[in-house]
Amino acid sequence: MVLRAWAAGLAVLAGMAVPLTVATPAAAQPPPSGIGAYIANQGSDTVSVWDPGNPAVNPHLVATVPVGDAPVDVAISPDGRRVYVANSGSAQQPGSVSVIDTATSTVVATIPVGAGNTPSGVAVHPNGTRVYVTVTRGAQPGSLLSIDTATNTVVATIPVGLGPNDVAVRPDGAVGYVTNSGSNNLTGFRPADNSTFTVANVGMDPQDVAFSPDGGLAYVTALGVVSVITTDNSTVVNQISLPDGPDGPAEPTGVLVSPNGGNIYATLLQAGAVAVIDPSDDNSVSTVEVGADPVGIAYNNNTEFAGGVWVTNSNSNTVSVIDDVLLPRVSETLSGGFNQPVAVAIGAVPVSPQPQIPTMDSVPSKSYGDGDTVVYGHGNNIGGRDNLVGSGHTAGTGHVVGTGHVVGTGNPWWLGPGGSASRIRRMSWVDGSS
């Protein structure tokens, strides 16, 4: 998303060199844990792919994917097979949408958005058939592009307000909202027919929007507040005040609702903090300090390993992980490979299929000649009855060789009753042979 105060952050960065230290993996792959965190790096035109980890592995960088110029937002398809990146573009390269295949961590398509259009926000419809991208066009009213995911082409252009930033679609897919920072309102739209309507009184300079898990409420960050909208009639029913920043009213950017509908989180750009709103306590607000200029925010459901709220700190090139199981606090700070990270999306992705090792039932009877190599992992079985294994072969510890099998001379294994292998001495027959 292109943010109100992000321009100020860029001015600070413009006069300094931003180091980029990327630990490049040996080969592109999906995150082994089955959870992928995709972080858009506006400063290096890349997306960092992180695996949040598992019981044996800490959170780590899996791949760094080159995309278009100045990526500003990112979204994952419901099936986890594609990641869509909104690239705002530059003087050298126009804006676009990059499509990443999560199985290979490579860009498989680049979707043009039209000359003069600058992408800002991106969201995927819950049924996966459409991607929505907000684009600005100078001082003119912006547009919402509807992209067919089957063909990766723009199939509709929907008029919205001035300076559109973010876009989100309700979990049931019936309604979506676009935040218009230049016209201080929202554009509501209905994906079924692309019709639109206006939502007023959301506050000055609205930035981001997120739905509650049941879709009944939407939360919008605006200058100094988070506005609460009932989505059945798209009416603002509350405005939650946020603590002032060092230079005046809070400038919240990203917003997130925890999956259980508990806390609402808003990144506070100037304050270097995240506001935590507790609806069960009369919308009380506390803050958690993170890095410099936090912008993007997303939730990792795998709360045991780097779980909770992930926050991109655009001016410190880190990602803060907030543990929200008990008292919200920063449990980890991730670094390495980030360069002005401004957006993050986290979701389940398909994992690489593991190689299938033959078992007793899957290997047909056959003979292997002297010098052939047959490798079976520990605990696996050598195939059906009457298989022959030539001289010099080795069966790993714990393997079972079925009744009637012959293991050639030179194999340092004794095959005891029932065909179980034990490393004692050389023999050639099975079933109690000694």
Q: Where are the domains of the chain?
A: 6-348, 355-434
- Residue 55's pLDDT is 62
Q: Which of 145-154, 305-314, 411-420 has the lowest mean pLDDT?
A: 411-420
Q: How confident is the model at residue 306 (pLDDT cuts 50, 70, 90)?
A: low
CA–CA separation, 306 and 333 (whole Å) = 10
Nearest Cα neighbor of 97 from 123, 68, 124 is 68
Taking residues 390-418, what's their average pLDDT?
Answer: 44
Looking at per-residue pLDDT, the higher value among 57 and 364 belongs to: 57
What is the bridge-based pairing of β-strands 176-180 and 185-190?
Answer: antiparallel
- Residue 353's pLDDT is 62
CA–CA separation, 57 and 272 (whole Å) = 29
Q: How confident is the model at residue 7 (pLDDT cuts 50, 70, 90)?
A: very low
Taking residues 135-158, what's their average pLDDT?
Answer: 95
CB 314 within 8 A of CB 270: no
What is the bridge-based pairing of β-strands 273-278 and 235-241?
Answer: unpaired
Taking residues 205-219, what's their average pLDDT?
Answer: 97
Nearest Cα neighbor of 326 from 265, 262, 282, 268 is 262
Q: Confirm or reject CATH 1.20.1250.20 for domain 6-348, answering yes or no.
A: no
CA–CA separation, 342 and 207 (whole Å) = 13
- Residue 30's pLDDT is 78
Return the H-helix or E-strand segment holding 7: helix 6-14
CB 163 within 8 A of CB 182: yes
3-state SS, residue 6:
helix
- pLDDT of 318 over the 60 cut: yes
Phi, psi for 96 (deg, rounded to 5)? -165, 180
Taking residues 262-279, what's their average pLDDT?
Answer: 95
Taking residues 186-214, what's their average pLDDT?
Answer: 97
3-state SS, residue 280:
helix
